């Protein structure tokens, strides 16, 4: 009799444990980083630095801009930040993205050599 009770308790405990692990699993999945890649216009290493720094915000764990391919890759947590916000952050430091142009006021602030709309710079 007693052993049956113990067995039932064990079953209940394992049920609770499975449920608990499932919940933890879901929590981890919810926090899982999302990777996005999109086109950003830039000219030089200063641009690269500016673009990557713009994404040094909460919710972004990694940002790398590839000058040659003009592609930006970011790892982010969709709970904290959206892809649209990533585009806006980059545009607000003066760089056009595939989602839209940088505000003229922001573009005006970047150094002459970085002015990608006027062409490539050759002097560095």
Residue ranges that bind Cu ion, judged by CB under 5 A:
43-44, 46-47, 114
CB of 123 to Cu ion, least distance (A): 11
Residue with smaller CB distance to Cu ion, 44 or 93:
44
CA 101 – CA 96 distance, rounded (Å) = 4
Nearer to Cu ion, 46 or 71 (CB): 46
Tell me the residue number closest to Cu ion, measured at CB. Answer: 114
- Residues 74 and 35 sit within 8 Å (Cβ to Cβ): yes
**Burial class, 32, CB count within 10 angstroms (exposed 0-12 / middle 13-18 / buried 19+):** exposed
CB of 104 to Cu ion, least distance (A): 17
Min separation Cβ 91 and Cu ion, Å: 15
Task: Indicate the residue among 83 and 93 with the shorter CB distance to Cu ion.
Answer: 93
How far is CA 123 from its chain centroid? 32
Q: Are residues 110 and 50 in contact, defined by beta-carbon separation less than 8 angstroms?
A: yes
The residue among 50 and 87 lying less far from Cu ion, judged by its C-beta, is 50
Laid out side by side, the sheet with 71-76 consists of 34-39, 71-76, 60-66
Shortest approach of Cu ion to residue 20 CB, angstroms? 51
List phi, psi (to 5°) of 100: 165, 170
């Amino acid at each position: 009799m007693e052993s049956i009770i113990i067995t039932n308790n064990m079953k209940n405990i394992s049920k609770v444990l499975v449920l608990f692990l499932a919940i933890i699993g879901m929590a981890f999945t919810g926090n899982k980083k999302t990777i996005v890649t999109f086109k950003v216009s830039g000219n030089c290493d200063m641009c690269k630095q500016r673009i990557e720094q713009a994404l040094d915000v909460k919710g972004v764990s990694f940002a790398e801009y590839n000058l040659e391919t003009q592609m930006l890759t970011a790892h982010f947590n969709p709970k904290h930040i959206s892809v649209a916000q990533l585009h806006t952050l980059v545009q607000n430091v003066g760089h056009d993205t595939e989602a839209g142009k940088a505000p003229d006021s922001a573009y005006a602030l970047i150094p002459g050599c970085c002015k990608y709309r006027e062409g490539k710079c050759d002097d560095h």
